[in-house]
Amino acid sequence: MDFALTESQEVIKKEVGALARTFSLDYWLEKDDRAEYPSDFVKAFADNGWLGITIPEEYGGAGLGVTEAALMLHEICASGAGTSGCSPIHFYVFPPTPLVKYGTEAMKRKYLPGIVSGETVMAFGVTEPNAGTDTSRITTRAEKKGDRWVVNGRKVWTTNAQHANRILLLARTSDRDPAKPLKGMTLFFADFDREAITVRLIHKLGRAAVDSNEIFIDNLEIPEEDVVGTVGEGFYHLLDSLNPERIVIGIEAVGIGRAALDRAVQYAKERVVFDRPIGKNQAIAHPLAHAMAQLDAAEMMCLKAAWLFEDPSLQDRAGVTADGPQLPRRTRARPAALVLALRGFAMDLMLSTHDTGYERPDEPTIAKVLASLDGGRNVLATLGTSDASYIQASGSVQAGFGLDLQEGSIERRFRTRDRALPLAWVTEAFQRYARADLGWRDQVEWEQERIVVPRDSWTNSWAAYIALMVAVAGAIWLWHTWRAAP
Ligand SMILES: Cc1cc2nc3c(=O)[nH]c(=O)nc-3n(C[C@H](O)[C@H](O)[C@H](O)COP(=O)(O)OP(=O)(O)OC[C@H]3O[C@@H](n4cnc5c(N)ncnc54)[C@H](O)[C@@H]3O)c2cc1C
């Protein structure tokens, strides 16, 4: 068994890491603050040939596999670029896969070189307001009219739609058959015709540098030659892009964790309290070591998932059976790989901004901390303004965030310290972030955790005292009245 990377994989890690680190943390802060697409970052990656990492060499790419793409995206995230850096590059790697695998030769010659050079900016239109995980529920419809398809419908969460010039679009070309719900959808690689597509930006906190949008498609005409693969089989073609993408998203989360851990370790070494660096204390050192072990384990799981995915013995295809067309055998083999990648996802990430330069975290800072962690499903973030005032936010990106006080009383933490953050304000910032970035959460009932100093019972209140006095006076009056009665 050999866990070593090949020489060329080591080179990829080194070169991508070096290139990504030429873009500082301040660069990402600024891009996120201004919600500005990182065009110069993408251009640097295009100029150095990285955008075409998985595109075959005959179309100008490097023809490498998922493992190499995973290593590249890990290094981008580990540089501190977070989701703002990996999303744009990621978009050149996975959405084009169905084109590479199922596109016609003419289509590949026409479009793939532009993707490699970065001239073609792609959007990916699958999710709809009522069809996320259950893709079979999409209602965007393509009707054949002569030699063209005419598309009408609506998509949501469409990344890059502000400046895309092509879109990989999934539309229904026949009604949903409950017996075969995933059939009857077709993939198109269409011109992003802004006469027929209206784009509405989704405002969000986090990954603000990369736009998310709703798009409204009104009679978009697509020529027959822009159909990708077989009509009615679009969902199956899409899986070739979605499955490896899951592996890569897992390792992106690991990269973000590495960046967080690096900063934490650096701070633990620099911060001196009671004449020694705080990292000498076990309560600081052990969680850092634990985080490193988890990151290493998660990285190994992701790379194993990539290796399983690329194993040639899994690559033959199943044919048509009595139950209808089967998923390719490779697809059926993937859940194991997928689970491994998701385990990578699920690791806890910890980032302490406590006295690490975020002296007074404001709302954008909090959002940024979360944005930099949003590749991880479970998040534990500590935010603070001084050693006497800090709060912990923990929870899951999917389920929302809860806030905990780590120690001490609310009185001390939130009322007597003028530099402290008001709890309600921070809670709201987190909730707004979670709501804005995760559209499906409309159904979630947001429960604001009631973290307040317990109030005295009502019997201790002035109202209770007065009520008691009135009751006693009433009783005396009644007694006198009763005595005086003849
Ligand atoms: C920042 C961002 C960028 C995105 N970019 C794009 C893009 O460019 N193009 C695009 O097409 N889409 C994009 N998406 C959409 C993304 O692919 C969807 O959010 C995703 O497919 C999930 O769909 P949903 O949000 O509607 O979740 P839902 O389908 O509503 O699911 C909600 C939750 O319930 C869980 N769930 C549902 N059913 C089950 C079940 N049977 N068993 C267990 N759990 C279940 C899901 O796993 C999920 O956690 C983006 C999303 C985000 C947040």
Q: What is the mean pLDDT of residues 196-203?
A: 95
Query: Cα–Cα distances in Å, from 226 out to 112, 149, 466?
Result: 13, 9, 81
- The pLDDT of residue 128 is 96
Distance 136 CA to ligand 1 centre (A): 13
307 has a pLDDT exceeding 90: no
SS3 385: strand
Ligand 1 atom nearest the C-alpha of 159 is: 8
> If you take atom 51 of ligand 1, which residue's CA is the nearest one?
157
Q: Which of 87, 89, 133, 210 to mutate to test the pocket of ligand 1 (most atoms within 8 A of CB)?
A: 133
**Nearest CA residue ID for atom 40, ligand 1:** 133
Q: How many angstroms does the Cα of residue 55 sit away from the middle of ligand 1?
A: 27
Instruction: Assess contact for 300 and 341: CB atoms under 8 A.
Output: no
135 lines ligand 1 (CB under 6 A): no
pLDDT tens digits for range 442-459: 333 333 333 334 455 667
Residue 385 binned pLDDT confidence (cut-offs 50, 70, 90): very low
Question: Is the distance from the beta carbon of residue 124 to the nearest atom of ligand 1 less than 6 Å?
Answer: yes
Contact between 22 and 44 (Cβ < 8 Å): yes
Q: pTM higher than 0.85, yes or no?
A: no
Range from 115-119, 302-306, 309-313, 354-358 that averages highest in pLDDT? 115-119
Centre of ligand 1 to C-alpha 109, Å, is 32
Q: Whose CA is nearest to atom 37 of ligand 1?
A: 133
How would you class 486 by CB atoms within 10 Å of its CB: exposed for 0-12, middle for 13-18, buried for 19 or more? exposed
Domain 255-342 belongs to what topology?
Butyryl-CoA Dehydrogenase, subunit A; domain 3 (1.20.140)
The strand ranges marked E within 103-211 are 122-125, 141-145, 148-156, 166-172, 185-191, 197-201
Q: Is 132 in the pocket of ligand 1 (CB under 6 A)?
A: yes
C-alpha–C-alpha distance, residues 374 and 328, integer Å: 32
| Domain extent listing, the chain | 7-93, 122-239, 255-342, 350-448, 458-486
DSSP annotation of 274 reads T
Q: How far away, in angstroms, is 132 Cα from ligand 1 center?
A: 5
Give the atom of ligand 1 at the shortest distance from the alpha carbon of 210: 1
| Whole-number percent of the chain with pLDDT over 70 | 69
- The pLDDT tens digits for 410-440 are 223 232 233 334 445 545 555 555 455 443 2
Ligand 1 centre from 128 Cα, in Å?
Answer: 10
Q: What is the mean pLDDT of residues 53-63?
A: 94
Q: Which residues contact 241 (CB under 8 A, 6 or more apart)?
A: 94, 95, 96, 97, 98
Average pLDDT of the chain?
77
Ligand 1 close to Cβ of residue 440 (< 6 A): yes
Of ligand 1's listed atoms, the one at least distance from the Cα of 131 is: 26
pLDDT at 82: 92
CATH of 122-239, one of 3.40.50.300, 2.40.110.10, 1.10.3720.10, 3.90.700.10: 2.40.110.10
- Mean pLDDT for 193-209 is 93
Answer for the pair 284, 374: CB distance below 8 angstroms, yes or no: no
Indicate the fold that domain 7-93 takes in CATH: Butyryl-Coa Dehydrogenase, subunit A; domain 1 (1.10.540)
- Centre of ligand 1 from the C-alpha of residue 374, in Å: 14
Instruction: Name every residue whose Cβ is closer than 8 Å to that of residue 78 and which is 6 or more positions away in sequence.
Output: 17, 20, 255, 256, 258, 259, 262
* Predicted local distance difference test score (pLDDT) of residue 455: 55
Whether 6 lines ligand 1, by a CB cut-off of 6 Å, is no
What's the 133 CA to ligand 1 centre distance in angstroms? 5
**Mean pLDDT on 126-146:** 95
Whether 242 shows a pLDDT value over 60: the answer reads: yes
Sign of CA dihedral 27, 77, 119, 43: positive
Most informative mutation of 138, 157, 241, 370 for ligand 1 (most atoms within 8 A of CB): 157
Total residues found in the chain within this entry: 486
Determine the distance separating the centroid of ligand 1 and the alpha carbon of 135, expressed in angstroms: 9
Q: For residues 202 and 438, is the Cβ–Cβ distance under 8 A?
A: no
User: CA-CA distance, 399 to 389, in Å (whole number)?
Assistant: 26
Structure tokens that stand for 84 in this block: 């703002």
Give me the helices (H) in 311-439, please. Answer: 329-345, 363-373, 410, 423-437
Residue 224 has pLDDT above 90, yes or no: yes
Query: What is the distance in A from the centroid of ligand 1 to the CA of 403?
Result: 25
- Cα 129 to middle of ligand 1, angstroms: 10
Lowest mean pLDDT among 222-226, 270-274, 383-387: 383-387
Work out which ligand 1 atom sits closest to the CA atom of 207: 1
Atom 4 of ligand 1: nearest residue by CA position: 157
Q: Answer whether residue 205 shows pLDDT above 90.
A: no
Taking CA atoms only, the protein residue closest to ligand 1 atom 44 is 133
What residue's CA is closest to ligand 1, atom 12?
127
